[in-house]
Amino acid sequence: MDVAEETEEIKEETVKPASKPSSMGNLLLVLVVALASSAGGGLVSWFVLSKTMISAEAKTGATKEDPKKIDVAAALEKSAVVPLEPFVVNLADSDAARYLRIKVSLMVDDKTGIKELQANEALQLKVRDVILQTLTAKTSQDLITDEGKNKLRQEIQTKLADYFKKPKLVDVMFTDFVIQL
């Protein structure tokens, strides 16, 4: 071998081709990309869910403490109930004799005036008269459904509201409701 060949071999050995990136570097790069994408996905999910929850609350009107529930609770603390003697009436059915047995209670907005209300015999009699007239005008088919009962409740409340100035009539409640069919 001559000198020219030896120098050629030495040049080939010293000049190495560019090395490939190490496998450790590739692994680190993959881990960084995976963590970044997971964190980004988590942030996007949190953002979308929080916006969805806020819009759902806005649609339903629900919050952590619903103001309507608070108002009802406060009204119930201030209110009082006047239970009336049970009513047993013939209904207006033309095909058969049917009767209704019902217990009605009246809720008023201020319990401080309840004694005067219960002592007012003229008012008690007028209330019973209005309820009797309302009940006897109904048929069993009018009252058999929940919708019919709710309409009756609203009708009685509307007719009686004028007789209650102070305390004011808030609700009409049925505590017993039996229709003989």
Contact 84, 103 (CB under 8 A): yes
The fold of the 79-179 domain, in CATH, is Tetrahydropterin Synthase; Chain A (3.30.479)
Report which of residues 2 and 158 the model is more confident about.
Answer: 158
Predicted pLDDT of residue 8: 61
CA distance 61 to 144: 33
- Convert the pLDDT of each residue in 15-74 to its tens digit: 555 555 567 777 777 777 777 777 766 666 666 666 666 665 665 555 555 555 556 666
Over the chain, what is the mean pLDDT? 77
Task: Output the pTM of the full model.
Answer: 0.57
Q: Which residue has the tokens 């963590």?
A: 35
Beta strand 169-179 with 99-108: parallel, antiparallel or unpaired?
A: antiparallel
* Domain spans of the chain, in order of start: 17-64, 79-179
Report which of residues 169 and 153 the model is more confident about.
Answer: 153
Direct distance between the N- and C-terminal alpha carbons of the chain, in angstroms, rounded to an integer: 126
